[in-house]
Structure 1
């Protein structure tokens, strides 16, 4: 069961948006989304209308520019999606960016509620800070000449069985593929004419990087589909005239459980106005598919209290990781199999995020939750920690 992260109304009203010197009478105004809005009704996950997670990045960046109106560049770090916002027919939802300033950076979390008297629930979190995106250009025409143009690419809108997309998401007007990279031409004009909200960078600009990825996944078995998990870094520079632009997507790693990629957004003056680094989309897993007869090697459970060989660093790491996992899932026997795929054990995104935060604090390392999808079992996780930190 996914654990809701609740913030009470009193705490939220006392929060600050990107400033440690907010007057006590300042009222934080949430953005309101209704079920019949264009790209909300056109985006369904497993049959339910869901507000795309990239909206949270757009709202956080809006808040940054509101508080630093003279800044041109912003760096959003470690955007992680924790709980989707479902908005059924006739519903509306309030979405609020709440942030706390810490030295040069600002930690933020995006929260939502359906009723003014309801508690706030966390849907995403990350950090913001000032940045200096170097002005670089890409010769798009030269790049296109090295790639293959796809004449028919409508399948990219139906390729992912977990997500159903309506017409407002079908805004790619040209698609070119190369080795581990895709170049897409995007036309936002019709969407922007019907938009009810103002953004420095529209959520669909970010989302299209995830959508353009799919021609590179034709050989991947996606019976259950993929869902966006997070973005490590967004570097954005304010520029004008972003109704039409290019998205260049490059795969960094494909583990089968998670695909990690980078993307660059390029305007018609060939200027890179945004870099999306460490974008991650994770495979959806349904059911318990662990075969208990395979991989008979077992490990000692930290939670069991049994004696282990303390001279073995690998064993200590393995013991520690197993103990942390057993704190959040009631499948201890299955964790005794070091190659059991953690994705098959029913963990949800929020649980991986919580686990990464706890380990990060306890052993004083910088840990990205995507680690659990890149190294999806105890054996691989143990090797990673040993090689990286010992």
Structure 2
């Protein structure tokens, strides 16, 4: 089924946005792993709604309950099960959507996939709220990767038409990552966050929404991790990243811009650094060649579409009357998904990198 991922670090998601609870079952956490529950809680809070005026006013603390696989502060090696109970649902806000599907949302596609039996409350299993479980599993993966010297950072590369600079390798330090984690709009350049906030508030006043691009960078991944073709690092990252609702595009390194380069410009020329490590002067390939890590930072950018649930009147169809109709979405929604999606993308990335790392250990014993 579609809610499973992983070969060595395996996760299975369940739940709906307005159901009793949602959660994840994780298999493959090494026995004896000490979990930093406070760090996991902080990661969950970064994704949770109601943190600022830039998000939906729905308030969910996202307090998790570990049901199995954890004893005396350490994992047991058996499946680790976690749930988060839903508290602040207003399901009546969604009653009209059974007959009037939202443009840009999964109401219509989900209706057809599940023969009309899909849970439409809060978008059901299609909701971004389901990513709570990805954050939990990814927070654990981050802890394990950090112990191996692997760090993951992310920032808002652009929001609507407001852009800032790309990451450079020196940006990815624990100090800088902690600084970004503390920001509602994680950006690198002074003044950019305020411009983005102004644009978001304007969109909210106009009953509209905005999208943006998030850049992710991973350092500390040694060369030789990954496989060619169907289990390449790009393939696995892309498969996971596209599992995050609202993602519509991904590009690695120079991405589509590499098509405008010559071979000489695109090739990442190599050298030995002062420590005898092989590096490259550029990183147009995003730290991956042949589906395998090169030792350079793995970098990619992710396009997040504007929130489809907007209050502005939109044209749709009425499934009961079989006629065209108008929909004005009620309820509480984010004017932009990007700020809350950042931690989800980081954690989704951590799940993939840990899975590939554990796979590499098999053939490097």
TM-score (norm 1): 0.26
Higher helix share: 2
Higher strand share: 1
Tell me: higher relative CO, structure 1 or 2? Use CA pairs within 8 A at least 6 residues apart.
2
